[in-house]
Amino acid sequence: MSWLTAEQALTLLGTKSQTLYANVSRGRIRAKPDPADTRRSLYFTDDVKRLATRHAGRRKTEAVAAEAIQWGDPVLPSALSTVSNGRLFYRGRDAAMLAESAALEDIALLLWDMKRPLRFEQNQARQKPPSLNAAFSALAERIMKDLPSLGRSLPALQNEAESVFDTVAEALAPGASDRPLHQRLAAAWSRPDASDLIRRSLVLLADHELNASTFTARITASAGATLSAATLSGLSTLTGPLHGGAWQSVRSLIARAAVTGAEEAVRDYLSEGRALPAFGHQLYPDVDIRAEALLRCFTLPPLFARVRDVGEQLVGERVNVDFALTAMTHAYHLPEDAPLIIFALARTVGWLAHAMEQATSGRLIRPRARYVGPPVQ
């Protein structure tokens, strides 16, 4: 095992000594007395290097973009959301604080910069479950009927965004249009006791800078495509296991823990060279504020709590929002795909906000490729 002095560790981390000591106390960095001077400590090299890599998330996105297109590039200007100092902000307002009382409809008004309440088409509650397939079909039907987004004013786009959002809401949160979406979704699942947590989740997941699905939606809108096409693009990307489908990996981890025990399950994942699902997030070096805001509002099921405790101890990272959503689903006996339904409904607001922002910029997103193929003849 390789060990570093405090000076060496601080150089790698680029932080103050207090931060180093805090990481040791939290179990993120292992330390031992220096045999040459017991008044000093040595720090485990692998732990320090891992945290140094994670702390890249603290730097400006431009710095990350210069290093890897896989995470952080390209950088696009946006006035919608940002993560700063471990907090998520929507147009400068703290998302975790908004989640204390706001509904998803309020966040739509904020992100879309609308000055009037949302107006959904009048409909009565229908006896049908929330369905991603229905959302895909409804959006696909609109694409060739709706007008392209290019060359239209922001008020015109806002009206259309409202209509597209209504289309998605009908599929993912069926119910009477005069009820808030979180209540419609809770009622559709016959779990009214989960209504407030669903509301908080929807608010916290509405937008998250240029994540994969949002970037896809912006590319689609930049070509002048319809807002429904941009939303469908985002929804398609969300289904990937590395994005909105991450809850399935959490379920697999919990299922293994139910058979072998939490510690054995976590150790098995790590010994197999697999990253522990839903632990850590590149934008939140300390804690995913969205997960924290949800987890303090309900009691973790015992098995989830054990997996969290063991995972955080062995990996040195806190659980993220995918873990929190999956735990909430289990705690409130929601359908298995509830995390993806909640994610999709919430993020539709963000996709539409970004699509409108991109469309009104009038700019096509067209990165260049760095060619690594056979030599050009």
| pLDDT tens digits along 142-165 | 999 999 999 999 999 999 999 999
Q: Which CATH class is domain 69-368?
A: mainly alpha
**Confidence tier at 124 by pLDDT (50, 70, 90):** low
Strand partners, 175: none
Cα(228)–Cα(75) distance, rounded to whole angstroms? Answer: 24
User: Secondary structure of the chain: what % helix, strand, coil (to 5)?
Assistant: 55, 5, 40
Name, in order, each residue with C-beta under 8 angstroms of 299's C-beta and a sequence gap of 6 or more: 331
Mean pLDDT score, 232-236: 97
Which pLDDT score, from 0 to 100, does residue 80 have? 97
Residue 171 C-alpha from the chain's centroid: 21
**H, E, C per residue of 334-358:** CCCCHHHHHHHHHHHHHHHHHHHHH
| Nearest alpha-carbon partner for 199 in 345, 54, 53 | 345
Residue type at 82?
T
313 versus 72: the higher-pLDDT residue is 313
Which pLDDT score, from 0 to 100, does residue 65 have? 42
**% of the chain beyond a pLDDT of 70:** 92
- Domain positions in the chain are 3-56, 69-368
Mean pLDDT score, 331-350: 97
Q: Does the pTM of the predicted model rise above 0.85?
A: no
Does the pLDDT at position 74 exceed 70? Answer: no
Does the pLDDT at position 70 exceed 70? Answer: no
Distances (CA, A) of 58 to 22, 132, 257, 289: 17, 35, 33, 14
Cα(46)–Cα(58) distance, rounded to whole angstroms? Answer: 20
Does the pLDDT at position 44 exceed 60? Answer: yes
Q: How many residues does the chain have?
A: 377
Does the pLDDT at position 57 exceed 60? Answer: no
